[in-house]
Structure 1
Amino acid sequence: MDFRFGPADTAFRQEARTWLTTHLSAQPPDWERALGAGGWIGLGWPDRTYGNRTATLTQQVVWAEEYARAAAPPRTGHIGENLLAPTLLTHGTPAQKDRFLPPIARGEERWCQGYSEPGAGSDLAGIRTAARREGDTYRVTGQKIWTSLAHEADWCFVLARTEPGSRRHHGLSFLLVPMDQPGRIEVRPIRQLTGTSEFNEVFFDGATARAEHLVGGEGNGWAIAMSLLALERGVSTLAQQIGFAAELEQVVARTLADPAPLDPALRARIATQWAELKVMRWNALRTLGSAQDPGAPSVAKLLWGGWHRRLGELAMAVRGASATVTSADWDASKPYGLDAFQHLFLFSRADTIYGGSDEIQRTIIAERVLGLPREVRVP
């Protein structure tokens, strides 16, 4: 496709830049609601029915780029806007759309994703969380793990087994579950290597979900879940790459500030990281706006996961021996003192795991794109 920015895109960029500059300087108490009031949530949705403004694909890229360049706050509404909302637009009932999309567009309700479990991480077909129908409700019992932002979420879309005795991808359903159920839902933050806790364990003990909040029909959860996962990598990937470029620039700046000659091996690694980042950008642009093949999201995940992990390793190599020492004494009760390079290294160790591990992505490419024999699974 022709991905050159036109006059309308330039005007849109100026509008976005002005809005971000004005509102970031004002420091609104609730950033998500400020975005909603400005109509900046749901730019990719097909119409303005739910309080959002609409934008072309190139304008969505413009917004993502400007948001990243402005160093605006991390989005706590990302999961609702970019994962659940497109899923409801495709598979939801009119009542479900009317109930859930306007609060997402206004930045009023946050969502989390109840997929992975201790025994079913990247291999979601092993899910054991169960949901039992009782009249007009479902009772959800089980455990989810690595649930991003569950500690801040109002709702969770949960993949649960509604057919007793079913196996693998059969008998699963996609339920919308309110998180405010004391005694029935418990959220336990997971402390990471960085000392922070963006991920959580979530325990469901007979939590209720209304039957009308079942998306796509009972037993169709696997198809809904796969449809949603395909949405995880799109326009947002380009904004992510702007953040990656800023991190790479910091690594380069550190090398330039060192009066000692740069190790030729490190110089080669920096050049490789720069070239690979360009490849990622062109791959992302190539797959936008066209009917994606089944392997495109998996290729994108493999590219950026491995690249970012290698950047963390490069940052530590540039720092040298001093990278092994924190800037403050370690305290078990709070995050220890990490500089930007150390945080990058530790957090990026998980990049090839979360969002679908590299092993799973390669299996998807092998089976669905290359047509290789399916992986043999042990019963």
Structure 2
Amino acid sequence: FQRMVGMVSSVDAEKTRMVRVADKWATALVAIVMVLAAATYLLTNDAYRAVTVCIVFCPCAFILATPTAVVATIGNLAKRGVLVRDGDSLERMSTVDTVAFDKTGTITEGRPKVLEVYSAGDNTEFISVVSSAESGSEHPLAKAFVSFADERGVKHSRPDTFKMTAGRGIEATVAGSKVLIGNARMMEEAAITIPAYASERSEGLYSQGSTIVFVSKDGAFAGFVAFSDSIRPTSRDTVNQLSFMGIGCVLLTGDNVRAAAHMASEAGIGEYISECTPETKVSVIEDKQSEGRKVCMVGDGVNDAPALKKAWVGIAMGSTGTDIAADASDMVLVKDGLESLPHLFGISKEMMRKVRFNIAFSMSWNFLAVALSMFAVLNPVTGALVHNVGSVAVVVNSALLLMYGKRK
């Protein structure tokens, strides 16, 4: 909760790039209006005309053009459960052409269940050792297995030592035994041989989209655990909508290539990268951005934080996500699901259209009013009214963003 409050508090502290540019131009416009007012007085010897020029050319509408649109957009998104850290991220979002999704907790529901347990020895002892080692981890798979052990009344304790290797697994000491729990790459690096029958069974589970973690104890293979995690009901529809908007999608997962292919197919994502480490995810984003693409990363875990920070825009899952992922992101999806993403992309583009229109309108309106003032069509009173009409028009146009998406 405090993290969300911090994000809301920081919104006013940051200005978009366009606001900063507008502030600089506003300073220049003040100088220009003073020159025009002086020129009007020198040419007409009419102080009223000069004063009217100063009144109508005050750049209020120009200054309001961007921040009013940003505030209205942030208000609209807040109603849909999207917290925005600053207005600049909305401006960047309008240019995104590629979305990279994490799998667990993002494309999937993030509530994995134990599908199968295979032990090379006593099954109860195996569950006890694994749950003891996993009790030191905050990973969704670890929590799922600890809950699995509790449901079956298997006793477990805290590990004596615990070490997590991102993208690989964990290493722990349980009752004096060294326990490794991780993917096949971790077993290979530790010179742990996975028996043929275990490899064959795991391949079948991979093809069903399951996540497999292998376990070794004191340097010998001890078994494996298969987890299943259902895809979010809205994931495929979200991907289809993004594709219709011309935005490419890619799945980044630490799973085996077969599991990655299955999950990508379920979500309707054509491109996927398997066996990703945090470094791999960052590298993929760097490669795409070096090609001139603007990448938005959507993730929820500690492993996603570097990629969220590296991406053009980072979006964290608020309901299933970790604190570090939210801190590294530009936006947080508070509601559980991805259905607000198409709306987010759509309104960010609409916001930029409103900003451009506001700026063009305010400048045109002011120059027209200046011309009318110089020719004495407007006096100070009518000039003030015309000036305020321009400001109100800009604010009303921006406020329409609050209604964006209601008809859909």
The TM-score range, normalised by the shorter chain, is: under 0.3
Which structure has more relative contact order (CA 8 Å, sep 6+)? It is 2
Looking at secondary structure, tell me which structure has more helix per residue: 2
TM-score for the superposition, normalised by structure 1 = 0.20
